[in-house]
Structure 1
Amino acid sequence: MKKFILLCFTIVSVFSFRCYSQQSKVNTADKKYDGYAYIDAIKTYERVARKGSKSEDMFKKLGNAYYFNSEFEGAAKWYGELFAMNPSPEPEFYYRYAQSLKATGQTAQANKILDEFNSKYQNDNRGRLYKENLNYLDKIKANSGRYKIEDARINSKYSDYSTFVANNKIYFASARDTGNFSNRKHKWTGEYFTNLYVTDVDSVKVKKFRTTLNTKFHESSPVLTKDGKTIYFTRNNYIDGKKGKNEDKITFIKIYKATLENGKWTNIRELPFSSNNYSTAHPALSTDEKTLYFASDMPGSIGQSDLFKVSINKKGEYGTPQNLGKSINTEGKETFPYVSNENEIYFASDGHPGLGGLDVFVGQIDTDGNISDIQNVGADVNSPKDDFAYIIDSGTREGYFSSNKDGGRGSDDIYKFLETRRLKCIQELYGLITDAQTGRILPEAKVSLYDRNLNLKNTTIADATGNYTFSVECAEKYYVRAEKPDYATKEVSIEIPDQTGKTNLPIALESIKCKVTIGDDLGKCFGIKMIYFDLDKSNIREEAALDLEKILDVLNQNPKMKLDIRSHTDSRASHKYNEALSDRRAKSTIEWLITNGVDKNRLTGKGHGETQLVNQCADGVKCTEEEHQANRRSEFIITAL
């Protein structure tokens, strides 16, 4: 039915032509072509062409007949004959010829045709997309190698495609045993009619969906609501035993809805925006089930088939369908939509730059419903043939897609996959807010995220465990600001990696109200780990004076406080030298405080050299510079209050 649906979306006008002695055969083929009996038309046209007759119109029809049946080698051959006769046919033939060439591995020639297409038809969205993505093959290559793919083990020698998973069951369309005493073929494609089938996940036993949903015509593309009580599906324009047609006696396809009552599917009805004059197909529900996405060639379409959406209210009523716009739809075919739990829309297209035929693409839906960042999912899934009907579980990253790529069992086959690497780089920035002095967890701290230009992007409150999280862009720079009463606000910058993952940024806040008692190190209230001196010197440096100003202020505010000032070195240099140096530094610190007004009776001090190391870095032990730095410290021990 996939080919049948593509044909429904591609009504080709018929052009008059003359083939002289072969005219009667051509007229016969025209009638079959007009009636969309493409398989029969191919045979007749080819017999005429092999006898030497040439006609632009005949080559167009031959090319189209193969193209619409996804037989791209034949399409490329006859479109080539068309271009040999007329280097400037209608724009649609440029694109179909290029797609057919790509599907048969003639990428360079395809790109040449696309260059001509874009130069002659600059208003066509497909040409613009090609021009904006001249390195599209490099992008596809970069997006490849991300899947483990295997046969879904439910395929037959016929057409199997379009899966949906619900309640640990797989629903799909198949042409394996339609009909009673003999299988019924559709004259448009030579394929058997498809019905709905079901199997358990990880099972190979397939059962026909034994319900009134299946008829003697086509059914496909099932999607169920989360409660399992409503199903949407695609079917020929056929209901209550009657087949609907337009004025030209053509039967299109429609989306139908049914409800489950007492274990039986009933109330089968076409959706109100369907029509006898155009097709609607391939329903897909948003995560909240308030929006239905689908494909159609209804009035207002940009191309041969576009993606639309329609709202569903609480009463189950439908709004007015909206075209998803030129960011996703082209003059070609966009079809088989699927919306993930992460608001990604997957779809098949032959209008966006791809490998040939239908390729699977993905775009991001924002909060306003706009779609951006459309990318080809890569050459693991996509091939020169038709690849479509992609669905994925956002949690497990497992899913299914359908394809008529080489190596399958039938004309279309279902493949199972595991996505091992995400296409889109997704990063989570997280961290723990703590007290810098005590390490105590600080819940309810306000945490703000700013971009590299200090524009506020998001704000959150640390949870009861002191943790915060933000969703951030990969390869971007951010500033994170943490605030909490009685603590100094702190802002930290962070560079986010360009790979999917999580980035940890813990933030320790300095209390502006430091509670101390006798025996505590006053320096820890201000994060003072060391009073810095020049190498081998004991004079106070400018940056050291700034820290001492803090100590001085506390002493002035607390006149009964007394301090014992202790200076320590690392183990490098001799023991005697280190002891003398540290003692000079302790005395220099005391002298600075006395000079700035502190009574000398409130201060004592001594240098301890390397006698009180805080780690294993004694003489002869190999240590890092950071480990040695931990031993070089100054302490302001409170001895009286």
Structure 2
Amino acid sequence: MAVHGVVYSHKSKIIDNVEVVVYSFVKNENMTVLTPISSTLSDENGKFELQLENHSNYQIKCFKEGWKMENNAIILAKEAHGTQKIKINCQLKKADNYELLGELHQDKKDKFRIELFDAATNTVITLKDKVFDFKFQLDKQGGYILKVINEQDHILYMNRIDIKQTVSKTIIDLPSDQKKRFPIYPFTVNTSNINEEAHTELNLIVKRMKEKENIDIKIECHTDSRGDDDFNLKISQEQAKSIKNYLILQGVSSERIIIEGFGENFLLNECKNNVKCSNLKHLENRRVEYLFLVSSTR
């Protein structure tokens, strides 16, 4: 499917060198999700053309410094034919657009999903596979929530961003040590009682959280598949609460502690129900992991 058109002003004058951005467009009852997938520039005659697949719906936005698009065009591509040509004209008026430029500071070269949420319109713009730099193009000022999410769907950073200038910049320092695993399983089997041996690791967590007031922690408890599924889920949730209570008693605010008990829902190997495995293989699944989350909202 081809999409082509012309960019012109409200006075019908041709505008060249306009960035035409195509977003995949998903709308449910409460949220609109936009993901930029392609872009091009209008030529000296204001013309542009893009090739799109038919498997998604799209929204087109046009950006140029000092100009703003009158209306965002929505293409219902799922209803289009494969060879169909769709004409979309972009009419611009004199007004400011806005940019949020960001840098990710990390020790590795991991890829992240960056999300910018606009509560006023219930719209999320999503950038995928970002390593160091990112850019959001926006058509209005206001308050946004910025998130950095890793490939395991953990939120590593969340902060409110106020867009007031035409160009805003932010630098995000991501934690070098992301998800970690307790070196020693911290509980007596089938209980939520914390072992004495686990206090060393727990106290290191307390020390770090007291040193860095801008981080939260997420704790995840997992069992192996032996025993009843419902019991495993319940005991893992109780174990997560035990760790949270320990941290609170050591002076960490409860608001900074996120806990999850998953039971046997996220096994690391093939040892699920009715599969014969050695004790060592089962123990690979019995684990407690934690992740530091960066937040500068406090």
- TM normalised by structure 1 equals 0.19
By percentage of residues, which structure has more helix? 1
Larger-Rg structure: 1
Q: What TM-score does the superposition give when structure 2 sets the normalisation length?
A: 0.39
Q: Which has the higher strand share?
A: 2
